[in-house]
Amino acid sequence: MNSAHDPLEKVKEVLRDFLKDIEEIQSIHKNMSAPQMAVAFTVADRMPIFDAATFSPAPDSAWEKENAYTWIYGATRYHPLMRRIGSPRPHPSFYSELIQPLFKKWLGKVLDVQNIPNYRIPDPLGGERVHEYLTRLQSILIHQKERRKIWWHSLRSFTKFLRDQARNQIEQLGELDAIFPEDMTLYFDTIIRKVPITLYPIDIWATADILKILAHFVLEGRPNSQESAAQALGLAWICLGNGNARFMTRLELLHEIHPSSVKEVKQDDMFTPNHWLNIRTLFGKIDAPISKTLHDYLLALPKTNPHYIFSQPLRTLRRTLDRAIAASDQTKDLGKITFLTLMHQCHEGRGQRFKGYSDRLIDTP
């Protein structure tokens, strides 16, 4: 395709620069050696002199791991991005409101679980706020070991009622979802979220391989599929950034992200990232650190709608991701992988998927 008429040329330029950076780091890595024993010291600079025969190349496994993280973070100097830093988590005013009016409104529904007051969740105390009431219910469930079936059903009914009240204001769902997940159960006196298999994270090597294949689709794929590959790669990188920050959000919110959410803020020290992505979460908008590569890449994507970074529908990007996963040898035995998988922090257990009982390790900020 003629670059003069290629709408993805800026995107490809960012990718080529990124690949060039990786090649330079790989070249340095190949030349790295581990000294075994100093044979002498120079007088001038008091530096040890090593016998070249005692130098051994760094193992390939070390580079494979380094390369995987480089792709996942979109940066050769990715260590500052591994720190869980971001703007303070907002506290919606909803949780500071009095719980009594909401509780009365719930009772007005005249549900079966409300029929026996002594068996359902307790009435709010005078002046009790939403957050205070929810944490009190949590304490009754965990510490007082409340296990009556009607009590449990009334709790689920009331929390569903609260979710319905905040359904149009997604930023109000975070605190409720952190205390009482929408699909929850009890495990050894702990409230846990039931997690579908597609949410279990995969290892860093499989993740990096998916990203490499998507990048190949962008640079070398069919001209009519390059744009969907470019957008799928961008969304995958955003999902991974969200997973590293461990924000509670929805895939649809990441897909609808605005170009103004991509920000550059100059810092005085080299350990603080300069580039940020403002992500809409269940707690409100929070900044997550991203690499310069991802910053430039997202801004370079062609935008048919100035209000969104991604112009193609989510179903199209899902199909493109599926093609990349199918082309990867690293994902053959890992089961179903989706963008939701990438929204959870990947791990170093090669060929494994995290299968813990609670996704508090994954979802809770």
Structural tokens at position 42: 């120079």
Q: Quote the pLDDT of residue 72.
A: 96
For the chain, the three-class secondary structure string (H helix, E strand, C coil) is: CCHHHCCCHHHHHHHHHHHHHHHHHHHHHHHCECCCCEEEECCCCCCEEECHHHCCECCHHHHHHHHHHHHHHCCCCCHHHHCCCCCCCCCCHHHHCECHHHHHHHHCCCCHHHCCCCCCCCCCCCCCEHHHHHHHHHHHHHCCCCCCHHHHHHHHHHHHHHHHHCCCCHHHCHHHHHHCCCCEEEECCEEEECCCHHHCCCEHHHHHHHHHHHHHHHHHCCHHHHHHHHHHHHHHHHHHHHHHHCCCCCHHHHHCCCHHHEEECCCCCCCCCCEEEEEEEECEEEEEEECHHHHHHHHHCCCCCCCCCCCCCHHHHHHHHHHHHHCCCCCCCCCCCCHHHHCCCCECCCCCCCCCCCHHHCCCC
Structural tokens at position 158: 């009331």
Q: Quote the pLDDT of residue 145.
A: 84
Q: Quote the pLDDT of residue 363.
A: 34
CATH code 1.10.443 region(s) in the chain: 67-87+198-361
Phi/psi at 209 (5° precision): -65, -40
C-alpha to C-alpha distance for 172 and 96, rounded to whole angstroms: 11
Q: Which of 289, 224, 230, 233 minimizes the C-alpha distance to 262? A: 289
Residue 123, by phi and psi: left (phi above 0), alpha (psi -120 to 50) or beta? beta
Cβ-proximal residues to 75 (8 Å cutoff; 6+ apart), any chain: 81, 291, 292, 293, 294
pLDDT per residue of the chain (365 residues) written in tens, 0 to 9 = 555 578 899 999 999 999 999 998 888 777 664 444 445 555 555 555 455 555 555 556 788 999 999 999 999 988 888 876 555 566 677 888 899 999 999 999 888 888 888 889 999 999 999 999 999 999 988 888 888 888 889 999 999 999 888 776 787 788 888 888 888 887 777 887 877 777 889 999 999 999 999 999 999 999 999 999 999 999 999 999 998 888 889 999 999 999 999 998 877 666 667 899 999 988 888 888 999 999 999 999 998 888 899 999 999 999 999 999 999 999 998 999 999 999 988 999 888 887 543 333 333 32
- 78, HSE (Cβ side, Cα atoms, 13 Å): 21
Q: Does domain 67-87+198-361 have CATH number 1.10.443?
A: yes
